[in-house]
Amino acid sequence: MPIINLFDSIKSFLKTPQCADCRVTLDEGVAKFCVECRMILRQRTWQAISEVSTEVLVYAACDFNRVFKKQLYGYKYYGQSHGQWLSDLLIDYCRQDFSTVPAEQTLLVMIPPHNDAQDQERLMRLASALANAKGWLLSSSVLNWQVECKPQHTILGRKERFENLSGAFSVADINFSSIKRIIILDDLITTGATMVSAAEAIKAQVCRQGRSTIQVEGLALARVPFMPIMGGTSTVVRSDKVLLPV
């Protein structure tokens, strides 16, 4: 009898909903995070990050913090259960997007990871979920790296980061005649150098096809703080391929 009671207690504990970050017990039907963690993880408003670029509108669903980092690491190392939450984060954030461009004329593309098929697959799953929810077109092969660039985390100056990625991308020979809006998806954004370089490459390709302009925007899961200090360096460091603010 005591063994049965112990077994029932363990089952009850395992079924008890807990915060995905701090593991405190949650009431039935409560969201994935406790109130405190939801405050840390609060969603950003749909407002372009002005200090990135005046020519490319760039958005981020939330700020990079310990709660988000745990979910991103979980997706990278432990699989789809964490990926579902990240997909939901993107979809929920994009409900604030009231663009007048029809969904069928909006194309979602991705920043290609550097030689990492698993990273590509993970980002593609997030992009697919978002495109399906919004009714957008989706392509994983629009952008490609065409030059070997230094890893961005080794370059701490904002100006140097933009220079490092100048001309970094090539664009596939795709007919953009029916597309009015392109959204570039990446996991993290710091200075926006990657987004801007990709957007410039797409705009140049569109221009070569005889069109004067196209609406290109950037979208990231989270924004990593970039805080320049003396000498043009930054307090942003990198650990295990994920940017971490110190």
Q: Which residues pair with 186 in a beta bridge?
A: 220
Q: pLDDT > 90: what percent of the chain?
A: 37
Over range 159-167, report the average pLDDT: 90
- Of 114 and 179, which is predicted with more confidence? 179
Same domain? For 12 and 67 the reply is no
Do 133 and 155 belong together in one domain?
A: yes
Whether 29 has a pLDDT exceeding 70, the answer reads no
The pLDDT tens digits of the residues spanning 176-235 come to 999 999 999 999 999 899 999 999 999 999 999 988 788 999 999 999 887 654 344 444
Per-residue confidence (pLDDT) for residue 90, from 0 to 100: 92
Residue 56: per-residue pLDDT: 86
Is the domain of 32 the same as that of 127? no
Choice among 35-44, 65-74, 217-226 with the minimum mean pLDDT: 35-44
Q: In this structure, are 13 and 116 located in the same domain?
A: no
**113/34 same-domain check:** no
Q: Are residues 51 and 171 in the same domain?
A: yes
What whole-number distance in Å separates Cα of residue 18 and Cα of residue 178?
Answer: 47
Q: State how many domains the chain has.
A: 2
Least confident of 26-35, 81-90, 205-214: 26-35
Pair (173, 221) in one structural domain: yes
> Distance between CA atoms of 215 and 57, rounded to whole angstroms?
9
Question: Is the domain of 35 the same as that of 47?
Answer: no
pLDDT for residue 13:
47
Give the residue-averaged pLDDT of 163-175.
91
Per-residue pLDDT band for 111 (boundaries 50, 70, 90) equals very high
What rounded mean pLDDT belongs to the chain?
Answer: 81
Q: What is the pLDDT of residue 243?
A: 35
- 233 contacts 226 by C-beta, under 8 angstroms: no
pLDDT band at residue 28 under the 50/70/90 scheme: low
User: Of the given ranges (98-102, 126-130, 152-156), which has the lowest mean pLDDT?
Assistant: 152-156
Residue 238 sits in which domain range? 43-245
Q: List the CATH number of the domain containing 147.
A: 3.40.50
16/133 same-domain check: no
Phi, psi values for residue 242, rounded to 5°: -120, 130
- pLDDT at 114 (0 to 100): 76
**Pick from 244, 186, 226, 220: which is nearest to 61 by CA?**
220
Kindly state whether residues 219 and 179 are assigned to the same domain. yes
pLDDT at 142: 94
